[in-house]
Amino acid sequence: MAAATLPTALLAGCQAPPVRLMPTPVPFVRGGVDPFASAGAALAGADVPVFYATNRAALVEQPEPLHLPLPVPTLRLGVAHVRIGDDTLDWETLHRLSTSADPAQRPILQLQRQAQMAALDADRPVADSPEAQAFFALVDRALAASPHPELLVYLHGARNTVPRAAAQASQFRHFSGRRMVVLVFMWPSAGSLLRYLTDVANAAATVDDFARLIERLAAHTRARTINVLAYSAGVQVASPALARLAVPRPGESRAQLRERVRLGQVYFAAPDIDTRRFVDETKAYIDLAERVSVAANLNDSALRLSAIVARASRAGRPDPSELSAEQTTFLVDASNALNFDLIYVDPTAIPGLPRRSHAFWYESPWVSGDLLARFLLNAGPQERGLEPAFTPAGTRFWTFPPDFDRRLVEIVRRAALTPTPGTPTP
C-alpha cells in the first residue's frame, strides 16, 4: 500500500461500517414462526420508523435537524424514519430475508429523514411544552396499538452516528414483527474509534439527561413498563443513570419509587464499563427493575482494547480478581437469589459466532433470538432454554446448550405471538 493512502485507509477502518439487516434470529429461521404474519398490510413494508430522543447539540433544527457530537441539557424528541434497502426492495424479498437464513447479501438500513417534534430544556416542565405533549401522545398511540404495551429504550455504543443509531434501533423493532415500540436514545458519540475518549467524556456528561428522559417517559406515557437495551459504551450512560434514578425523593418509599419509574427489563450487551463501578451501580438499582441481564463474550476484542485504555476490566469481559469480597458476595447472591442474569456468550458453543465478537447480540441468530425472547415473552433464562453453570466463587451464569436452537424454536412456537390489534404509530 502506498504511503499516501495509508492514513486514508486507517481512518476508513476507524469509521463504523454501514448497518445491514442482521441475520434472522433463530426462531424465525427454523421454527415455522412468522413474526410478521399478523402485522397487517400497513406494516408490511421496508419503512421502519422509530422514536428518538437525543441530547446532541443541533446546528440546524428545521426542516430537518443536523446534530453535533456535543452534549447539551436539551432533550430533542421526534421520529426517525428508517428504510431497509433501496426503493427496489419489495416486501416479498424483505419478508423472505427476515424469516430465513437466505445467504443473499443483506440490505443496508438507511435513515431517510428525522422529524423533530420538540426540544425540551432541563428546567422546562412538559406541561409548558405543547410540542413535547404531542410527542408523548404519539408514543401513547403507538403503545395502545401494540399487543406489547411496553416501551423499549435503546442506547447505542461508541463510534456511532445518528443514522447508525437509528438503523440499529429499527432492527429490533423490525424483528419483533413490528410489535415492539422502540425509542433510540442518541447520545453524542463522535462516530470514530480515534475519538473513543471523547465518547467516554460525552457519555459521562449525558447521565443526567438520560435519567431525566426515563423519568419523563414514565410520567407522561402509558407504557406498562420501560425496558432498557444498552450496548457497549451505552452502558456508561445507562448504568449510572439508573443508579441515580434509584435515589428516592424526600419522603418517597421504595415501593413508590418503583411505581414512579416503572423500570422493566434491563439488558446490557457487551457492557463497556468499569467492572467494579458496574457492580456497585447494579446493587443500587437491581430492586427497581423486573430483571437485569448481562450478556458477555469473554474473548471480546473491543473490550480487551477498552480495558487497556481504561486500565480496568470491563463488565462485559470482567476480571473477578479486581472485585472486593463484598462485591463478589453481591454477585453470588444476586445471580442466585435476585433478578440478575449473567449470560455467557461462548463462541465455541454458538455456531458461526466469531471468537472475538463484540456485536454478538445482533451478529448471532442464537443470541438475538434469546434477546428477543427475553423482551417479547418476558421469559427467564431457563424458560428460554439456557442452562445454568457456576463459577468457583458460586456466581451463577447461563450458557447456550448444543440444542438451544431447537429449544428456542419450540418455546417461541408454543408462545404463539399474539396478533397485532391495530397499526402502531409511527
Give the 3-state DSSP-derived string for 94-114, with helices as H, strands as E and coil as C: HHHHHCCCCCCCCCEEEEEEE
Report whether pLDDT(333) > 90: yes
The pLDDT, as a whole number, for residue 279 is: 97
d(CA 309, CA 312): 8
pLDDT category at 421 given cuts 50, 70, 90 is very low
User: Is residue 281 classed as helix, strand or coil in its secondary structure?
Assistant: helix
pLDDT-above-90 percentage for the chain: 79
DSSP H/E element including 175: helix 162-175
The pLDDT value given to residue 5: 43
Domain 17-415 has CATH 3.40.50: yes
Chain mean position to CA 177: 17
Residue with cell 451478529: 363
pLDDT at 69 over 50: yes
**Mean pLDDT, range 217-243, rounded to an integer:** 98
Q: Which of 390, 393, 374, 392 shows the shortest CA–CA distance to 382?
A: 374
Q: State the average pLDDT over residues 332-343.
A: 95
- Among the residues of 71-161, which ranges form H helices? 91-98, 130-145
Q: What pLDDT is attached to residue 15? A: 57
CA triplet 389, 392, 397: central angle to 5 degrees?
Answer: 30
User: Mean of the pLDDT values across residues 367-390?
Assistant: 94
Sign of the alpha-carbon torsion through 400, 405, 410, 416: positive
When computed from its CA atoms, the radius of gyration of the chain, rounded to whole angstroms, is 21
Q: CB neighbours of 333 closer than 8 A, spacing ≥ 6?
A: none
Given a cut of 80, is residue 143 above it in pLDDT?
A: yes
Cβ atoms of 335 and 396 within 8 Å: the answer is: yes
- The 10s digit of each residue's pLDDT in 286-314 is 999 999 999 999 999 999 999 999 999 99
Residue 104 and residue 142 in contact, taking contact as beta carbons nearer than 8 Å: no
pLDDT of residue 3: 41
Average pLDDT score over residue span 31-59: 86
* Geometric angle at alpha carbon 229, from 149 and 312, rounded to 5°: 160
- For residue 158, what pLDDT is reported? 95
Identify the three-state secondary structure at position 316: coil
Distance CA 399, CA 297 (A): 11
Its sign, for the CA torsion 63, 69, 71, 72, is negative
pLDDT of residue 133: 97
Average pLDDT, the chain: 91
Helix (H), strand (E) counts: the chain: 14, 11
Q: Assess whether pLDDT exceeds 50 at residue 1.
A: no
Q: Looking at this protein, which amino acid is placed at residue 287?
A: D
Strands 396-399 and 387-390: antiparallel
Report the pLDDT averaged over residues 330-358: 96
Task: Return the amino acid letter for 153.
Answer: V
Give the per-residue pLDDT at 14: 52
Task: Return d(Cα 175, Cα 190) in angstroms, integer.
Answer: 28
258-287 confidence digits (pLDDT tens): 999 999 999 999 999 999 999 999 999 999
The pLDDT tens digits of the residues spanning 174-215 come to 999 998 999 999 999 998 888 999 999 999 999 999 999 999
Question: Span 410-423, mean pLDDT?
Answer: 63
Output 79 or 148, whichever has higher pLDDT: 79
Q: Which three cell numbers stand for residue 215?
A: 423519568
Q: Does residue 11 have a pLDDT over 70? A: no
List residues bridging with 228 in a β-sheet: 153, 266
pLDDT of residue 417: 52
The pLDDT score that the predictor gives to residue 31 is 62
pLDDT confidence of residue 49:
96
| 10-14, 233-237, 239-243, 326-330: least confidently modelled range | 10-14
At residue 66, φ and ψ (nearest 5 deg) are -120, 110
Domain ranges across the chain: 17-415
Q: Is the pLDDT of residue 42 over 80?
A: no
CA–CA distances in Å: residue 336 to residues 161, 232, 282:
38, 25, 15
CA 317 remoteness from chain centre = 18
Better pLDDT: 12 or 197:
197
134 grid coordinates: 404531542
Q: What percent of the chain has pLDDT over 70?
A: 92
